[in-house]
Amino acid sequence: MAQFKADEAPVVAKSADPAVRAPLFYGWVIAAVAGLGMAAGVSVFLPTTIGLLIAPLGREFGWTAPQVLAALTFNTVATLVAAPLTGKLVDRLGARRVTSAALLCQALLIASFYVMNDNVIAFYLRYVLFALLATGTTAISYSALISRWFDRRRGLALGVALAGVGLGGVIWSVLAQYLFDLIGWRLTMLGFAAGLVLVILPIQLLALRDRPELMGLTVDGKVAEAKAQTGDSGEMAMSVTLATAIKTGRFWLVLVTFFLATASAYGVMLNLVTILVRQGVAPQTAANTQATIWLAILLGRVGTGWLLDRFFAPRVAFAFLMPGVIGIGMLAAGTTGAGSFAAAMLVGLAAGAEVDVLAYVVGRYFGLRHFGVIYAVNFGAVAIATSVGPVTTALVAAANGGSYGLALLMLMATLTLAGLLLLSFPRFPERFSASSHAA
């Protein structure tokens, strides 16, 4: 007989919960709130605000841009440790608890900026703690949550949730710069922390539920029968452990493919302003061009998600990566004006497809019982790629007198290789065939 914790007793179909009787499947509320959490989480907040902190921290403490940006390197290294641990916690405790605790920790760390002094080591320590204590606000938690609520429409649901990254990137960028100019960076950070605790956290606590069975529902929205549901079917029952997964060729195929794709896309994204300025584009125009990437990421994630429910996921990813190759080629050819905006959009679409497809294929290949930790290991590899790609691109450019031509050609090659690897992905296991697309 299945055993449930006291707070996880399954609800039967006669439940009076209005969410059960609502015409809209409650899973879409979960997806929307997950998107809000992604928009507010550290994976968006840190990269979008640290560049804006360079000027005020330089004026107040005399720190250089490399000193400030080095904080992200420390964060990435710490994420390698935090990601698998976060995945294990999600598998054991559920995404609701993990995301809520992590969001509270994130808010406290942001609030601590209000009392920050000129000790750069303490500044770096904050970014290490962001990784160790707040990685639960990333796609590791929210992808696991979505995968437990959806099967046949999982792709679109993941797209809706992960689109929060693009939305958050736009909001944080615009709002942070406006408030920095209006009230200063210290009060702005304090206000951001308050917003997380007073707005985002209560919404998550009220809305998120770890499994549809807790609300008398089943995956994809069918009302549960009077018989208690265990949820141990399909991908849940046939899951493999991390130890088993890493012994398979498909695990490493997935990891290497998405490492290459991410390194290529981020190699362009984080160097785009410099690339365009060197091609004669005005700095403000270059910054505006870079902002279009976040919009493209948002569109790419929703569009990819919709297609994942209809076509074989690796082929969908291939279809989005190849335009990215064209976009990088346009930049290598020295395009400016409207062409540079188009190139940025193409690269952004490629970047927007990566996380969606990664979460989707991990669930389909390895199941859901240990999804959190298996996805987290891949997430850690992707985190490394977000640093390796931009740094390698900049180093190659520096070695060529500041010209990004060769570096961009290398990025085209690695993104093309990632696309070719996608074409070699095997079909999803037959035990998941009812919800898998092979063509």
Query: Is residue 416 within 8 Å of 225, Cβ to Cβ?
Result: no
Looking at the domain assignment, is residue 194 inside a domain?
yes
In one letter, which amino acid is 38?
M
Last residue in a domain, options 165, 189, 221: 221
pLDDT at 322: 95
Q: Are residues 402 and 273 in the same domain?
A: yes
Q: What is the Cα 49 distance to its own chain's centre?
A: 16
Buried b (16+ CB within 10 A) or exposed e, 9-31: ebbeeebeeebbeeeebbbbbbb
Q: Considering only CA atoms, give the Rg of the chain.
A: 22
d(CA 386, CA 266): 6
pLDDT at 430: 66
Looking at the domain assignment, is residue 87 inside a domain?
yes
pLDDT at 162: 84
Last residue in a domain, options 188, 221, 254: 221
Low-confidence ranges of the chain (pLDDT < 50): 1-20, 224-233, 433-436, 438-439
Distances (CA, A) of 220 to 25, 35, 146, 287, 420: 8, 18, 10, 41, 33
pLDDT at 223: 55
Q: Are residues 212 and 246 in the same domain?
A: no
pLDDT at 431: 56
Q: Are residues 142 and 189 in the same domain?
A: yes
- Number of domains composing the chain: 2
Last residue in a domain, options 153, 186, 221: 221
d(CA 192, CA 107): 8
DSSP H helices, 62-184, are 65-93, 95-111, 120-134, 139-149, 154-183
Q: Are residues 214 and 256 in the same domain?
A: no
Q: What is the DSSP string of 71-97?
A: HHHHHHHHHHHHHHHHHHHHHHH-HHH
pTM for the model: 0.78
Looking at the domain assignment, is residue 234 inside a domain?
no
Q: Are residues 212 and 330 in the same domain?
A: no
Looking at the domain assignment, is residue 433 inside a domain?
no
CATH, residue 95: 1.20.1250.20
Q: Are residues 346 and 282 in the same domain?
A: yes
Number of residues in the chain: 439
Looking at the domain assignment, is residue 227 inside a domain?
no
d(CA 180, CA 113): 13
pLDDT 10s digits, 317-369: 999 999 999 999 999 998 888 888 899 899 988 887 777 899 899 988 998 88
Q: Are residues 149 and 98 in the same domain?
A: yes
Q: Are residues 89 and 175 in the same domain?
A: yes
* Secondary element (H or E) of residue 51: helix 42-61
d(CA 313, CA 250): 14
Domain span at 202: 12-221
Q: Are residues 26 and 161 in the same domain?
A: yes
* Secondary element (H or E) of residue 357: helix 338-366
d(CA 232, CA 239): 10
pLDDT at 16: 44
Q: Are residues 76 and 135 in the same domain?
A: yes
Q: Count Cβ atoms within 10 A of the Cβ of residue 379 and give its class: 0-12 exposed, 13-18 middle, 19 or more buried.
A: buried
pLDDT 10s digits, 157-189: 988 898 888 788 778 877 887 898 899 999 999
d(CA 364, CA 321): 21
Q: Which residue's structure tokens are 């809305």? A: 207
Q: Are residues 208 and 271 in the same domain?
A: no
Q: Which residue's structure tokens are 């992808």? A: 143
Looking at the domain assignment, is residue 53 inside a domain?
yes
d(CA 288, CA 125): 32
pLDDT at 108: 98
Looking at the domain assignment, is residue 428 inside a domain?
no
Looking at the domain assignment, is residue 148 inside a domain?
yes
Q: Are residues 209 and 284 in the same domain?
A: no
